[in-house]
Amino acid sequence: MNYLRVADLGADGLKNALDLSIRAKSNPDEFGSALTGQEVGLFYMKPSTRTRVSTEVAVSQLGGRPMTLRNEEVGLGKREAPADVARTLDRYLDILALRVFEHEHLDIIGAHAKAPVINLLSDLEHPCQALADVQTMSEARPLAGSVLTFIGDGNNVCHSLMVAAAMLDVEVRVAAPEGYEPLPEYVELASQYSSVTVTPDVNAAVEGSDFVYTDVWASMGQEDEAAARRRLFEGYRVDEELFGRANDTAVFLHCLPAHRGEEVTDGVADHSRSRIFDQAENRMHSFKGVLLHLTQ
């Protein structure tokens, strides 16, 4: 089984992975030998801080051996075809996790490798981040019946988050400028599980929310669009006034890195109800949850 999209797990699988993530955090010794003798490849086409450190530590703490691979060595899609990379690495590794640009590469590798393949980030989804997000949300309040508002670009983070949250009976609202909404297929998928609203009206979307989430306005690979995006997204900055429209107990979330002063102010990022560094920590625990679920 692979974890390339949140939907790959299904609602029951997501709940199981979340439960394993929570248990791994509350009792680190419970699964300390779960991956003993297993080799886990961690491949990076993009720079990373949280993903690289959290995954390497997670594998080590589960008793496995992490092996980091950089694209300068592999040349995925240029020096060597993704299918050939998959067939080769499959002979060496028990699990393969990749951080790529094109999601298509993950689909090809997943189709040609017998070992479980995990998406550490692609242009379409960020499913490991979504699991850490819902874990962090669950620490603040019960998920079922709560309201999550995502503000900004309907990007890969938004896609995975809205599906994961909806699968756990969270109402999802997305406030995005016209032309930057999440892909319709993700809205349709999430709507099969819970109420989903996509609107350009950021104030209405935040009103009464339990969780307010944002991400950078321009992701890696979109640097040439950064100036134009700043102008378009100016009204979507999460500042103290906007955050104040949410519930009095609302929690602020951000997958990091944050461009402080752009999509979020210091006052919100450092707010007493900001949980952004809990999210960062939970990347490690939730990756354990994914590994444990896929290898059970």
Active-site residue set: 99, 126, 129, 215, 255, 283
**CA within 13 Å, CB half, 280:** 13
Tell me how far apart the alpha carbons of residues 100 and 257 are, in angstroms, rounded to a whole number: 17
Structure tokens at 21: 């993530």
CA dihedral over 48, 157, 129, 259, signed as positive or negative: positive
Q: 229-245: string of b/e by CB count within 10 Å (b at 16+)?
A: beebbeebbbeeebbeb
Q: Which residues contact 288 (CB under 8 A, 6 or more apart)?
A: 20, 21, 24, 31, 58, 61, 62
Length of the chain: 296
Alpha helices in 66-221 (DSSP H): 71-74, 82-89, 103-112, 127-140, 156-167, 184-191, 202-206
**CA within 13 Å, CB half, 194:** 22
Tell me how far apart the alpha carbons of residues 100 and 148 are, in angstroms, rounded to a whole number: 27
- If you search the block for the tokens 């002063």, which residue do you land on? 261
Cα-based angle 85, 65, 26 (whole degrees, multiple of 5): 120
